[in-house]
Structure 1
Amino acid sequence: MLHLLAFLALAVASDTVDFGRVGQGVMDVETLVQVNTAVEILAKAEFDFPEAAQRLWEVNDGLPQPDDKRFAPEAIQFMMSTPQPPPEYAGPSPWQAGLVGSRQCKCLAYLATGPEKARKDVARLCVVQALRLEWLLPVSTSEQDRGFFAAVGSLGFTGGVIYQHSEMGTVLHEMSAQAVRTATRLLAPWSEGTGDAYCQAAQALLEAAPVPEAVLAPSHELDVFFDQINLEHPDMARVARHIKLRNARAAKATYIVALSGRFGQREDWPDVRPDRTVNVAEADDLCRNVFALRSDGYTRQDFGKEVDWTFLAEGDPTGCACLNAHRWANVLLNAYKATHDEKYAYHLSRLFLSWKDSSPVPCGRSEAPWSLPETGSRAGQIFPSILMGLADHPRFERDGLFPMAQSMLEHGRYLMTHASQDGAALQIEASGLATIALMFPEFKLAKSFYRAALNRLARANALAFLPDGMHVSCSPMHQVNVIKAIGAMHALATATSWPIPDSVTASYLSALGALAYLTYPNQHLPLFNDAGPFPPTVHGIFDVALHVAERDAFAWFASGGTQGKPPLRCSHDFPDAGYCVMRDEWRPDGSVFLFDAGRLGAERPHEDKLSFTFFAGGRELIGDAGFYACGYDAWAPYWWGSWSHNVILVDGLGQHRALDGEEIVPDPDRRFIIGDGFDFAEGWYRGPYSSRAAQVRRSVRNAGENEPLRGIAHQRCVLFIDGAYVVVCDRVLGVDCHTLELLFHLAPVVNDDATGEDGRPHVRAVSLDIEDDGAVITREEDVANVAILPAQSDGIEVTSHIGTQSPVRGWYSLYGRLPSPEVVYTCRTQLPKTFQTVIQPLPPGSDTVPMAARAVEVECPDSQACAGLRCGDDLFLLSYTGTAEITCEDVRFAGTALLIRRNASGRATLAHMVDGKRLELAGKKCTPSRSPFPVSR
């Protein structure tokens, strides 16, 4: 027995949370006893293995044929010599789902033939493999090949055999039933009307170990629900007495009291609401069944007497998902907490019951109202917030508490069976599944939920987070959504003393650190990549993080700067994502310039390499237009293409990186140097340019309508000087004449104090002037302004698009689809061509005068690509080609970039160099006062 328990602890732990280090609460003695019982059942049970299933065996799965005399010894050897990789590992391994399924079929065939030799050892391998398939199989369904069908069939067959021979009412009995559910549901889409031999073999395995149909079908019967409850759980003693007396109604009443007491102890639970904003206007609308569907678009829908939970907003296919993510419940909960008006609690309960009654859990994988990410979000953040906020509220306790407990069990079984393959969706789903176990530990499947969830989450994090902490989507919105999901789960696990793998904690903290550096002073985030029309914010995120780790930076963000300390560095490098964050200070009116010089990103990426955003004076001045709705309509190329970003178009064409295949990460052309008051970044775009029709998401469809333009390269260098201004230097390389368009998207003015009838802030386009010298200056009396100052204007036309639809130009996705100025500098020119532009933040007022910015002549014998410009009293010199000898006025410099600041009398008071070798002023050698230095990883 000791050998068996030790082996199982080792084998199962290697496949789940590391129980030796952080998982004692998951893999406890009770679970070991269940696993031991499963081994005994498989070793002693008599069953037939379908002959048709032999075709599911692989030759290279690590085991010989079941009738081979070496089978049992080699199975034992395999167990002892081939440890399972950690869940984070997703590369080639003997423990991939398909190979596990193949070995499982062989082991089951061996046990079915009746050899006495080493039956327990082979059964032991069966149990370990079934536990791995339990969490891994749903995330490994992208290929419906022999391995997939072997995994599905063998998991269902194993579960069926154990179910038939295990004691009713035990945790093991329910665990085996769940294995059959998972297999049956995953096989269902492929089993009807298919002639695939592998699919038929898997179906034969399920039919060979059948379970009652009632086990597979959802049910709202009280008796069925309490069959899923572990009555030996300490909280369930009184419930158990009523169940033994077969008094389900009394058991229900007692269970409600237990839940009300558990969740009513608010000091024991962290506040995990995904959004703490109080919007009474929107809450009042919801009381009348008027919903603000805020997702990839915005729709205000009046449903009248009954809500249609399958509603699909025209032009926004995500509206239904938004409706069923239950953001509305958070709005009502916040309004109730702020006002204590009973109507909000009443209508929250009413709407939840309406949703539950009209949205039964489906038998198979479904879209809204049971699309997977929304299901995970409900279970992981919305429902827990409601339970902790209203469990002891008389009306909700009476009407909604038990139905929500039923729904959480349904959510758990659904998320256990179905999962996305990777990305933000899987991270949210896994976090939600784990949260169900934390909130309802009395569910018989609670530990199975938790074990599967943490394994999937560890795997998803390893694939979804880059080494620098950014999400592979390179989307701050996805970063926020994932951090909210993981943070809520982690905080609840900490509060309830459930273990968390070290890798999950490390990924979460790393992602939080990345998010901190991306955050604007107003706690909003830029709309890079997949974001909009509601700007992501960090409000509440760091409050939750403090339940996981007490750090000064978390306290500083959570308190709005009144407690703790901000991060030590202001600027930050993201070498893997490619973002360069340039910040002058951690203060409310600080300046932040975000430069995107890296990868395309996953999950609805935008063609925006070398784009940027600029925040100063309390608001975003130049921004990313984001995206609005995600349909394939005439607007899609604008949002996802280069036209809505601050980049350069060539002959009217935008970037199209998808045509060039995989990118090199980190980008070898990119560099970022952080100095004291002077940051320098450089990036390149060397890919093809194509038309709008070819540029929807990462698709290459219609690309043949216009051959992509190749042989053009765009280099952009950015210099951030003390937050006072930014110099953006562009060089376009190529041959022949081309039309170049340099784009700047001016951010709208947001008035949070003035809201519409639905509570949305008032947003409008900024006012601007275009000067004769090509300068563009916004003219706002009450908010910060910005000046775009071209250093040269000869041969360049400046225009401003705002709200045109043919073509789509000059739009912004912010609380809706908003016309907003797109400033365009256009020229027809022979390549190569350079542009130098100064961007200066200005205070409020219509008469503010920006600095003078003009090009100056330079001599650069070692390079044909040097530039010089005067920025007020500052002189800036740049060599686009790296270190070069540059002479300008009384300055001789050897290096890549130089900034010299002079006082009113013309005396040099400060100098910064990049790659500086030598500096002479008026013939005298000088030492720079401060030099930028590279940031170490």
Structure 2
Amino acid sequence: MSAVLNTLKADPRLLALAAPYCNMTPVELLAYFHCRRQIRYFSVIDEEQNTPEKLDGILRNRFEFNHQPYQLDGAFDWLSNPCADVEWLILLHKFYYAVGLGRRFQQTDDTRYRDKWQALTRSWFDNVPVDFLSSDVTGRRVQNWIFAYRYFVSAAAEPLIDAEFHLDFLASLQQQVAYLCDNLTPARNHRTLELYAIFLAAVVFPELRGADEWLSFSIRELQRNLQTDLLPDGVHCELSTDYHHIVLRNFLGIRRLAMLNNIELPADMDETIKKALSFCLHAHKPDGFIPAISDGDSANFLDLLRQGHELYDDPAMLYVATAGQQGQAPTECSKTFASSGYSILRSGWGDQDDAYQDERYLFFDCAPLGAGNHGHLDLLNIEVAAYGRSLIVDPGRYTYDESGDTNWRVLFRRTGYHNTVQVDGKNQTLYAPHIRKYKIQGPEPAREFKCALHRPGFDYLHGIAASHEYPVIHERKILFIAGQYWLICDLLRAEQAHDYELRFHLDALAEHRTTTSVNSAGLWVDSPNLVILQAPQLDTRLTLESGFISPSYGVKHPAPVVNFSAHAANYCFLTVLFPYQSTPPEFTLEQLPVSQNGQAVGSTSASALRLHNQQARGEYYDELFLAHRAGAGYEFADLNTESAFLFRRLDREGRILAWHSADKS
């Protein structure tokens, strides 16, 4: 015992290790950790942060994060930020580049990558307090340090690093994990990644002091986090498509790590993870990317479905992960996630007449703002994709930074930067300056997801928003017709007149390639692969605005914005969104008169349209009807109906080709 105490007094770094490892010399420890084979784990690398150009820049102390490069000197100050955006400093301290340096060293045997990893890591633990920045930064750094360690030690042919540095590394890692256990973020996605870091450290380094306690603690808390942070439909409670997948990636990493090392996890974890994977499967657009709903990027997370297939042997996950090349198509084309308020409409999975990437897709957001502070003011927002590309897009987040002449954070978050109706130029929720930043200060709108109906060849959605910022009720109804096109009905109700602006943000490819026209045939918008059309109304004005979309943090591209506007009390916008592959469709649209008890009614009571398509999949006439007020039956064309909606397709001889109504009559 006295020998052990003397050893620890002589080298306090050994306090980070449990017995008998605390009795080893630095050289013996390095040899032991290199040779052990009982621990199995994997590295996860962020490819965007680890391009060859970025890694070679880091060798010269040139760091680029969020598309902002800075040349630092050899003894730079870790505590100072050369950039106005704090996210730059956060990425510096998260050490994503450590994993890239490790992989490059493994691939090339170039010792510059090893030496840079050692120099940066040593500089960090020699100069940075363990509590610098938030706990989630510590959690991500711990993960990346362990992932990098695998390349330099665990999977290396020879442990070609300094033994003294190795012991310092273990001591710092132990200190950071112990700090995490005592300083966890209270809830949600940051807490999940911090718990994953603790679990990862406990599994990969059981020799560290406290590792047994870390393992039991992290498993217990991860189960609780999974139960509290994922809604009953499997969608993450922050209601950001990007953060949902980041959290899912963490849980899949935990599940895979447990399986590799025969660690038992609570049985209900698997069922919850499968629900989260279901949202992942349906949320991905046919081009393989997710829409950037609320804070986040339009990223590709199909690798998570591959992992899900490996864990749960689900052929539908493999099918979507491979864009229909392997596995089996999902049984549901369209799906509503009722707890979150999200709905995805899809024409198919590429297993019938169309190629996988050509299928039509619409994402509908009837969700609350969500937990945390990532929600955008976008109730009843949509995103549309077809024929291999996005057509109407959620512009994304662009930045969290509010400095500069233009507050881009506020701009991208506001209602006018989404595909919904803005009233009187206001946001749906009070969003105003608070101390140094803007903050959501008012109650979010009352909402109701009134109906989600999915049938082969027909879908119907109905959501309602009632903002506390203005006395207007906004109802949005969406009809998806034969997997070909959508009718978007936006009904506004108020006692006094207001300014209504219905916007559709187009993709960057539509910049300088979009035209508008207003004539007796309607209000037309022609853009690549998409026609937008409204039947003529005297009070509707059509303009094309300048805007931006942001596919990833720190990047924005000019993109046109379609604006249909009107000044009225009660009003109804009826918009056809008709995607096409190569040749614009030749169709006409007319508004049909509707009556009730022999008296004509306006479009805010009931709406009816006839669309005549003379191209595409044969000539046909589509009659579309929506009732906006309950009561006696309505008459239009040759029909009398009490249904909330009706769709009838006729051929040129008047024969019925398809029929759908609320009562299935």
Shift of 1:726: 0.8
Q: Which of 502, 505, 508 matches 1:748?
A: 508
Q: Which of 815, 832, 836 matches 2:574?
A: 836
Aligned counterparts, 1:424-823, within 5 A: 424-532=189-297, 535-546=298-309, 548-586=311-349, 587-603=356-372, 604-633=374-403, 634-656=407-429, 661=443, 668-689=448-469, 709=470, 711-749=471-509, 765=511, 767-773=513-519, 774-779=523-528, 785-802=529-546, 810-815=547-552, 816-823=555-562
Deviates more, 1:254-263 or 1:517-526: 254-263
Shift of 1:825: 1.1
Instruction: Check if 1:880 corresponds to 2:628.
Output: yes
What SS does structure 1 have at the residue aligned with 2:11?
A: helix
What SS does structure 2 have at the residue aligned with 1:684?
A: strand
Instruction: Check if 1:906 corresponds to 2:644.
Output: no
Residue equivalent to 1:322: 91
What SS does structure 1 have at the residue aligned with 2:633?
A: strand
Shift of 1:733: 0.5
Sequence identity, in percent?
Answer: 21
Residue equivalent to 1:848: 584
Shift of 1:329: 3.2
Superimposed CA distance per residue, residues 49-81 of structure 1 (whole angstroms, 9 cap, x where no aligned partner) = xxxxxxxxxxxxxxxxxxxxxxxxxxxxxxxxx
**Structure 1 residues 261 and 541, CA, compared in 2 at 3 Å: closer, same or farther?**
farther
Shift of 1:404: 4.1
Larger relative strand fraction: 2
The answer to whether the Cα contact below 8 Å between 1:494 and 1:547 also exists between their aligned partners in 2 is no
What SS does structure 2 have at the residue aligned with 1:602?
A: coil
Letter in 2 for 1:545: G
What SS does structure 1 have at the residue aligned with 2:333?
A: coil
Instruction: Check if 1:358 corresponds to 2:124.
Output: yes
Instruction: Check if 1:891 corresponds to 2:639.
Output: yes
What SS does structure 2 have at the residue aligned with 1:792?
A: coil
The answer to whether the Cα contact below 8 Å between 2:335 and 2:344 also exists between their aligned partners in 1 is yes
Pairs aligned (count): 626
Residue equivalent to 1:373: 136
Structure 1 unaligned residues grouped into runs of 5+: 1-166, 174-219, 233-238, 690-708, 750-763, 780-784, 803-809, 919-937
What SS does structure 1 have at the residue aligned with 2:147?
A: helix
Letter in 2 for 1:811: F
The answer to whether the Cα contact below 8 Å between 2:30 and 2:159 also exists between their aligned partners in 1 is no
Separation (CA, whole Å) in 2 of partners of 1:348 and 1:625: 40
Separation (CA, whole Å) in 1 of partners of 2:454 and 2:535: 25
What SS does structure 2 have at the residue aligned with 1:655?
A: coil
Larger relative helix fraction: 1
Superimposed CA distance per residue, residues 355-389 of structure 1 (whole angstroms, 9 cap, x where no aligned partner) = 4423458667431xxx2112212323x23432333
**Structure 1 residues 583 and 555, CA, compared in 2 at 3 Å: closer, same or farther?**
same
Instruction: Check if 1:261 corresponds to 2:10.
Output: no
What SS does structure 1 have at the residue aligned with 2:292?
A: coil
Separation (CA, whole Å) in 1 of partners of 2:57 and 2:423: 47
Separation (CA, whole Å) in 2 of partners of 1:169 and 1:347: 39
Shift of 1:732: 0.4
Letter in 1 for 2:386: A
The answer to whether the Cα contact below 8 Å between 2:294 and 2:396 also exists between their aligned partners in 1 is yes
**Structure 1 residues 329 and 348, CA, compared in 2 at 3 Å: closer, same or farther?**
farther
Letter in 1 for 2:545: H
Shift of 1:491: 0.9
What SS does structure 1 have at the residue aligned with 2:345?
A: strand
Superimposed CA distance per residue, residues 830-857 of structure 1 (whole angstroms, 9 cap, x where no aligned partner) = x11101000111224xx63453333222
What SS does structure 2 have at the residue aligned with 1:286?
A: helix
Residue equivalent to 1:341: 108
Separation (CA, whole Å) in 2 of partners of 1:333 and 1:663: 49
Superimposed CA distance per residue, residues 324-363 of structure 1 (whole angstroms, 9 cap, x where no aligned partner) = 22233344456667xx3344x7326514531442345866
Residue equivalent to 1:866: 606
Separation (CA, whole Å) in 2 of partners of 1:777 and 1:643: 21
What SS does structure 2 have at the residue aligned with 1:892?
A: strand
**Structure 1 residues 868 and 259, CA, compared in 2 at 3 Å: closer, same or farther?**
same
The answer to whether the Cα contact below 8 Å between 2:62 and 2:72 also exists between their aligned partners in 1 is yes
**Structure 1 residues 677 and 621, CA, compared in 2 at 3 Å: closer, same or farther?**
same
Shift of 1:628: 1.9
Letter in 1 for 2:549: Y
**Structure 1 residues 169 and 415, CA, compared in 2 at 3 Å: closer, same or farther?**
farther
Shift of 1:555: 2.8
Separation (CA, whole Å) in 1 of partners of 2:486 and 2:52: 41
The answer to whether the Cα contact below 8 Å between 1:557 and 1:566 also exists between their aligned partners in 2 is yes
Shift of 1:542: 2.7
**Structure 1 residues 643 and 351, CA, compared in 2 at 3 Å: closer, same or farther?**
farther
Q: TM-score normalised to the size of structure 1?
A: 0.62
Shift of 1:258: 2.6
Structure 2 unaligned residues grouped into runs of 5+: 350-355, 431-439, 614-620
What SS does structure 1 have at the residue aligned with 2:379?
A: coil
**Structure 1 residues 875 and 568, CA, compared in 2 at 3 Å: closer, same or farther?**
same
CA RMSD of aligned residues (A): 3.2
Separation (CA, whole Å) in 2 of partners of 1:333 and 1:566: 38
What SS does structure 2 have at the residue aligned with 1:601?
A: coil
**Structure 1 residues 467 and 352, CA, compared in 2 at 3 Å: closer, same or farther?**
farther
Q: TM-score normalised to the size of structure 2?
A: 0.86
